Structure 1
Amino acid sequence: MIVPPPVLVRNALGAWGADGRRWLDDLPRTAAAVARDWDLRVGEPFALSYHWVAEATTSDGTSAVLKLGPTQPGHLAHEAAALGIFGGRGAVRLLAHDAERGALLLERATPGTLARDLVPHRDEEATAAVVEVIRRLHQKPPADCALPDLAETEGASFAGHLDRFPGDDPLPRRLVERAAGLLAELSADGEQVVLHGDLHHDNVLRAEREPWLAIDPHGYVGDPGYDTGALLYNPEPGDRGEEKLTLLPARIEQLADGLGMPRERVEAWGFVVSVLSEVWTTEDGGAPDGGPLAVASHLLPRLT
């Protein structure tokens, strides 16, 4: 019997309201039906946040991951679409998708240790792993690509925040305005590729089929530099003071060199995505995290 932990209940209700409540209530039945129809043996869940994710084994003994979430259009549909486009190149393979039940069956990365585990003492190695994943993931969107446009989607996030909060609480207005402007500028003069959309050290796992594989894509079409942004505030190597910022210069240089991207562009995207992370937090009714805001404030003087 599935009993959703408090963190999953809290996040599902906060993100999806009544739809989240219905999904939680139906979760045991949905999981049982999907397991039956896909002939899965379902094991223990992983650490849960917004979706129910558990170990699974297929009828032929293949190790897999079962992921369940609400069925309204959005994250899981985009994740499935992105993984389908990636086709196992740099990311786990999508083995099955049931849109009506909000179910994904995914390749399991083994041994599955996180790039995060290399931080901070082997940070260069961790960043190199993510750089290689980015190189493999990014490709031109197919003609029938249904993924959302990055500039349009997250431009709306910035605009909604500015409409909702006319002053400097909860975030300094000038930072949000600058990030919104940079998002538009950077998106207008760059190439368009299929993006992971949430690529950082917690979403890159050690694997056997490829040395490292990405999981949990958000899925966008946009400028390649966007996928470097979250790497500058994730994971937190120390506290939220100066220690957190000590790895920034080396990461920025390594990302720029490894991806053939101007350092200034990596810094600009780092600023945009750091501010955007705090905007997302306030959308959910929370207070700013502080970590991404510290990175954005640190990068601000470097922007041209």
Structure 2
Amino acid sequence: MSEVAERAARTWEVTLDELAVSGTNEVWFARRGDHHVVVKAGNREARRREAVALAAFSHSSARLLEHDALHGVLLVERVLLGDDLLPLARVDDDASTAIIGRLVRSLHSEQLPLDAGALPPLASLGEVFERSDDPRLPSALVRKAASLFAELTADAHGVVLHGDLHHFNVVRDGVGDSADRWRAIDPHGWVGDPTFDTAPMLANPRALTLAESPDVALLVSAAAAERRIAILAEATSFERDRIRAWAFTAAVIAELWMVEDHNLVHGAPLALAEALAPTV
């Protein structure tokens, strides 16, 4: 147990039950009295942004209970049952896509006031294009994504964004029946174009495949993406063209990050970008 987690447990009168994630970022399943909670420790700025976003989202996400800004620690409600959307996506992709679309709409429509400058603008993501010169990624695709990104972020108007709303960050609140609802966890925290929050689930096609395969790229198709885009558009009232443009751009950004952080090309986001390129 890290010193930071131990201090948080004492300060907030929490019993740490299980270390769920270790390393640079530490995540503990815990209890505070009769309530199940999560203690998250790690990068101070990342935890600060997560705290700001959770506070803005109100009841559509896990509730923020405490935030130690000095030490970079959060105490967050643990959503139970807590299973994510991937099992549903494997048997009913349309239903899981609609759930994410409705959650996007809910996250954006029920926000609490936010202090100016509390979260970075989405436009700052574009800095990755300035560092993109790896020959493993098609230069024409990267240039197209950079141009689209500039257009998509030209409007200064925005809302608090989750920033990473894919199947693993949408969890079940309930007991497994028809009264259950789905809530968001682990936001990155940005301010920008609302349509961006539809992109992570489209730019992460591994989670959307109905069967496992060592060659994920073969399971990515424009037809599958277009079906999901149509469902998201109906659930959110966003324009299909804008959802498609963000899916393409976010997929390229995901691969740029993979190259920058891990010196490898993932493959699945690149396959999605190549499938969508003719239509954006």
- When normalised by structure 2's length, the TM-score is 0.89
Deviation per residue, 1:150-190 (Å, 9 max, x gap): 01x1111222x23xx2xx51311221221111111012248
Partner Cα separation in structure 1 for residue 81 and residue 42 of structure 2: 25
Where does residue 244 of structure 1 map in the other structure?
220
Give the alignment partner of residue 188 of structure 1, picking from 154, 157, 165.
154
Partner Cα separation in structure 2 for residue 302 and residue 190 of structure 1: 25
Establish whether residue 43 from structure 1 lines up as the match of residue 17 from structure 2. yes
In the superposition, relative to structure 1, how do residues 218 and 293 fare at CA in structure 2: closer, same or farther (>3 Å)? Answer: same
Partner Cα separation in structure 1 for residue 23 and residue 272 of structure 2: 24
Whether the aligned pair in 1 keeps the contact of 2:121 and 2:190 (CA below 8 Å) is yes
Partner Cα separation in structure 2 for residue 197 and residue 68 of structure 1: 19
Partner Cα separation in structure 2 for residue 141 and residue 29 of structure 1: 33
Partner Cα separation in structure 2 for residue 204 and residue 156 of structure 1: 28
Partner Cα separation in structure 2 for residue 92 and residue 226 of structure 1: 21
Where does residue 69 of structure 1 map in the other structure?
42
Whether the aligned pair in 2 keeps the contact of 1:43 and 1:54 (CA below 8 Å) is yes
Using the TM superposition, name which of 190-199 and 29-38 deviates more: 190-199
SS across alignment from 2:266: coil
Partner Cα separation in structure 2 for residue 114 and residue 287 of structure 1: 27
In the superposition, relative to structure 1, how do residues 210 and 94 fare at CA in structure 2: closer, same or farther (>3 Å)? Answer: farther
Deviation per residue, 1:12-67 (Å, 9 max, x gap): xxxxxxxxxxxxxxxx2111111111111001122557521111111x31110111
Partner Cα separation in structure 1 for residue 273 and residue 24 of structure 2: 26
In the superposition, relative to structure 1, how do residues 141 and 95 fare at CA in structure 2: closer, same or farther (>3 Å)? Answer: closer
| Pairing 1:27-106 to 2, within 5 Å after superposition | 28-48=2-22, 51-58=25-32, 60-71=33-44, 74-88=45-59, 90-106=60-76
Whether the aligned pair in 2 keeps the contact of 1:45 and 1:54 (CA below 8 Å) is yes
Give the alignment partner of residue 144 of structure 1, picking from 115, 139, 155.
115
How many aligned positions are there? 267
Moved over 4 A (4+): 47-50
Using the TM superposition, name which of 138-147 and 77-86 deviates more: 138-147
Deviation per residue, 1:197-254 (Å, 9 max, x gap): 0111110000139601101101111101111111113351143233233632211110
Whether the aligned pair in 1 keeps the contact of 2:205 and 2:269 (CA below 8 Å) is no
Give the alignment partner of residue 279 of structure 1, picking from 221, 239, 256.
256
% same residue: 39
Q: Structure 2 unaligned segments of length 5 or more: list them.
A: none
Give the alignment partner of residue 129 of structure 1, picking from 88, 99, 102.
99
1:142 Cα shift?
3.5
Amino acid in the other structure paired with 2:147 = G
Establish whether residue 154 from structure 1 lines up as the match of residue 131 from structure 2. no
SS across alignment from 1:66: strand
Deviation per residue, 1:284-304 (Å, 9 max, x gap): 14211000000000000001x
In the superposition, relative to structure 1, how do residues 235 and 66 fare at CA in structure 2: closer, same or farther (>3 Å)? Answer: farther
Partner Cα separation in structure 2 for residue 260 and residue 70 of structure 1: 35
Partner Cα separation in structure 1 for residue 137 and residue 23 of structure 2: 25
Partner Cα separation in structure 1 for residue 151 and residue 13 of structure 2: 49
Partner Cα separation in structure 2 for residue 169 and residue 132 of structure 1: 39
Whether the aligned pair in 1 keeps the contact of 2:172 and 2:183 (CA below 8 Å) is yes
Q: Tell me: higher relative CO, structure 1 or 2? Use CA pairs within 8 A at least 6 residues apart.
A: 2
SS across alignment from 2:3: helix
Q: Structure 1 unaligned segments of length 5 or more: list them.
A: 3-27
Partner Cα separation in structure 2 for residue 99 and residue 189 of structure 1: 31
Whether the aligned pair in 1 keeps the contact of 2:203 and 2:248 (CA below 8 Å) is no
In the superposition, relative to structure 1, how do residues 113 and 48 fare at CA in structure 2: closer, same or farther (>3 Å)? Answer: farther
RMSD: 2.0
Which structure is higher in strand share?
Answer: 2
- When normalised by structure 1's length, the TM-score is 0.82
SS across alignment from 1:206: strand
Establish whether residue 178 from structure 1 lines up as the match of residue 154 from structure 2. no
1:273 Cα shift?
0.4
Partner Cα separation in structure 1 for residue 23 and residue 169 of structure 2: 14
